[in-house]
């Protein structure tokens, strides 16, 4: 028995599995977008299962707040590229497969080219713009997308855009959520997440990929599995057999500028036209702030005229995620607005 036979012997011995099924895994190409809490466990199990080619797409670097749930990384990795580290470590885990790093940010300009290289895509992202972009790109390119999301103690898993036997496609993310509500954005850093949930949901995503490639089991197509880590209970919500959306093109990625904490502090000393805008909740504002006008994210739409003035406005929140979404929302309504997002939010500003 050769090394591969020994390595995969336990899964080949499964009922309905075989060496021919293992060959399907070895011939498969899987793209994982996001090498974070979900992407790490998904990538580890797909690597150990013997998926032949795995692409890892992420442009971020490791931060200390990642370490409690992103189990591929160590404290020595802080500040280093996630994609490079993930590919290096996964390659050591299984030298017999191919790891492909994609270090550029996924945008409307490159997403179709990248997605078209793979058989199936795993969504391990943590922002809605990329989630919708991936969904739309997979619909346009005819690729299935394995969705996962976590927040606090609850996780969700689904498989979008699967080809049915009648030639029609199963529902996609827009069938469930037609468009993002930028004012209601859950965030693991700000709202919290139990780290084991990332491992559970990421592993479920890997399981759906394996089922799809090997044509075994019943996919979570047209359904959403909701898992509660506190009660250890799950339920499946059925959303239909076929999609009712009509996606014709990709929405252009909104580009925006950020400002570092160091640069902001310097410019505030030299330039009295800089205005700070706090987009956090009133409770967060009461606990601590660095000044400026308070416009909570959920009230931003009502205050759009405020952003037509010529002064540079720097929006801030706890980590930079909500302020980034706020800046994108403003630029969508007022393309000429002079708005920046504080990079890293108050967590870096107060260091």
pLDDT of residue 56: 98
Higher pLDDT, 224 or 66: 224
Question: Pick the catalytic residue: 40, 87, 138, 188?
Answer: 188
Q: What does residue 316 show for φ and ψ, rounded to 5 degrees? A: -140, 155
Q: What is the mean pLDDT of residues 337-348?
A: 90
User: Any idea what the Cα angle at residue 332 is, between residues 334 and 282, rounded to 5°?
Assistant: 85
pLDDT, one tens digit per residue, over 218-252 is 999 999 999 999 999 999 999 999 999 999 999 88
Quote the pLDDT of residue 184: 54
> Tens of pLDDT along 16-27?
889 999 999 999
Nearest-10 crossing angle of helices 19-27, 195-214: 110
Name the percent of the chain lying above pLDDT 70: 95
Predicted pLDDT of residue 118 = 98
pTM for this one? 0.85
Domain assignment present for 244: no
CA-based torsion, 319, 322, 327, 332: positive or negative: positive
- Identify the residue whose tokens are 């919708």: 132
**Among all chains, which residue has been given the structure tokens 């037509």?**
308
314 and 343, same structural domain? yes
Give one word for 74, left, alpha or beta, with left for phi > 0 and alpha for psi -120 to 50: beta
pLDDT more than 90, % of the chain? 75
Residue 206 tokens read as: 């890997």
Q: Where are the beta strands (DSSP E) in 13-94?
A: 29-33, 53-57
d(CA 112, CA 28): 18
Catalytic residue among 40, 87, 138, 317: 317
Is position 248 within any domain?
no
Which stretch of DSSP H or E encloses residue 69?
none
| 10 belongs to the catalytic site | no
Positive/negative CA dihedral, 241, 139, 177, 43: positive
Interatomic CA distance for residues 138 and 140, integer angstroms: 5
| Range in 207-216, 266-275, 311-320 with the lowest mean pLDDT | 266-275
Q: What is the pLDDT of residues 107-116, one digit of tens each?
A: 999 999 999 9
Cα Rg of the chain, angstroms: 22
Task: Indicate if 282 and 195 belong to the same structural domain.
Answer: no
pLDDT at 270: 83
> CA nearest 122: which of 202, 61, 62, 199?
202
How many degrees, rounded to 5, is the angle at CA 192 between CA 36 and CA 64? 50
Q: Is the per-residue pLDDT at 161 higher than 80?
A: yes
CATH of the domain at 111: 3.40.50.720
Phi–psi pair at 58, nearest 5 degrees: -170, 135
Helices 195-214 and 39-49, axial angle in degrees (round to 10): 40
The boundaries of the domain holding residue 151 are 3-238
Nearest to 126 by CA among 204, 46, 70, 206: 70
Are 133 and 208 within one domain?
A: yes
Q: What CATH number corresponds to the domain at position 312?
A: 3.40.250.10
Q: Is 138 a catalytic residue?
A: no
Neighbours of 282 (CB within 10 A): 10
pLDDT recorded at residue 298: 86
Looking at the domain assignment, is residue 250 inside a domain?
A: no
Q: Which of 1-5, 132-136, 152-156, 192-196 is least confident?
A: 1-5
The predicted pLDDT at position 325 comes to 87
The per-residue pLDDT for range 18-57, each reduced to its tens digit, is 999 999 999 999 999 999 999 999 999 999 999 999 999 9
With a cut of 70, say whether residue 154 has pLDDT above it: yes
Q: Residue 4 pLDDT more than 80?
A: no
Within this chain, do residues 83 and 121 fall inside the same structural domain, yes or no?
Answer: yes
Averaged pLDDT for residues 155-184:
89
Widest CA span in the chain: 74
Residue ending a domain, choose from 181, 205, 238: 238
Is residue 252 included in any domain, yes or no? Answer: no
Same domain? For 179 and 287 the reply is no
For residue range 183-200, list pLDDT tens digits in order: 555 555 556 789 999 999
Q: What is the C-alpha separation between 149 and 126, in angstroms, rounded?
A: 8
Q: What is the mean pLDDT of residues 162-178?
A: 95
According to DSSP, the residues that pair with 163 across neighbouring strands are 169
SS3 273: coil
The arithmetic mean of pLDDT across residues 121-144, rounded, is: 94
179 in the same domain as 284: no
* Alpha helix ranges (H) inside the chain: 3-7, 9-12, 19-27, 39-49, 82-93, 111-115, 128-141, 173-176, 188-191, 195-214, 261-270, 282-287, 321-333, 345-349
- Residues 92 and 219 placed together within one structural domain of the fold: yes
The residue among 238, 271, 289 that closes a domain is: 238
């Amino acid at each position: 028995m050769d090394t591969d036979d020994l390595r995969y012997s336990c899964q080949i011995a499964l009922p309905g599995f075989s060496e021919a099924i293992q060959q399907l895994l070895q011939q498969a190409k899987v793209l994982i977008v996001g090498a974070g809490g979900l992407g790490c466990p998904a990538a580890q199990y797909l690597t150990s299962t013997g998926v032949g080619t795995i692409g890892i797409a992420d442009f971020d670097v490791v931060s200390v707040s990642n370490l409690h749930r992103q189990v591929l990384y160590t404290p020595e990795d802080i500040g280093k590229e996630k994609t490079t580290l993930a590919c290096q470590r996964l390659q050591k885990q299984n030298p017999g497969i191919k790891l492909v790093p994609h270090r550029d940010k996924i945008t409307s300009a490159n997403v179709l080219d990248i997605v078209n290289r793979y058989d199936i895509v795993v969504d391990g992202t943590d922002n809605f713009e990329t989630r919708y972009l991936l969904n739309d790109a997979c619909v346009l390119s005819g690729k299935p997308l394995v969705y996962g999301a976590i927040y606090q103690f609850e996780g969700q898993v689904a498989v979008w855009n699967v080809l049915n036997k009648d030639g029609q496609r199963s529902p996609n993310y827009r069938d469930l959520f037609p468009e993002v509500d930028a004012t209601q954005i859950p965030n693991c850093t700000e709202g919290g997440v139990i780290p084991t949930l990332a491992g559970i949901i990421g592993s479920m995503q890997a399981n759906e990929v394996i089922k799809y490639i090997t044509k075994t089991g019943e996919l979570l197509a047209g359904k959403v599995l909701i898992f509660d880590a506190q009660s250890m209970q799950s339920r499946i919500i059925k959303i239909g057999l076929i999609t009712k959306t009509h996606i014709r093109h990709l929405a252009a990625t909104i580009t925006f500028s950020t400002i570092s904490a160091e640069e902001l502090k310097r410019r505030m000393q030299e330039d009295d036209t800089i205005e700070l805008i706090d987009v956090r909740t009133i409770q967060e504002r009461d606990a601590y702030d660095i000044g400026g006008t308070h416009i909570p994210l959920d009230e931003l739409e009502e205050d759009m005229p405020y952003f037509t003035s010529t002064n540079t406005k720097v929006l801030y929140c706890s980590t930079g995620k909500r302020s980034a979404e706020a800046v994108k929302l403003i630029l969508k309504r007022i393309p000429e607005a002079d708005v920046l997002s504080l990079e890293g939010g108050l967590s870096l500003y107060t260091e």
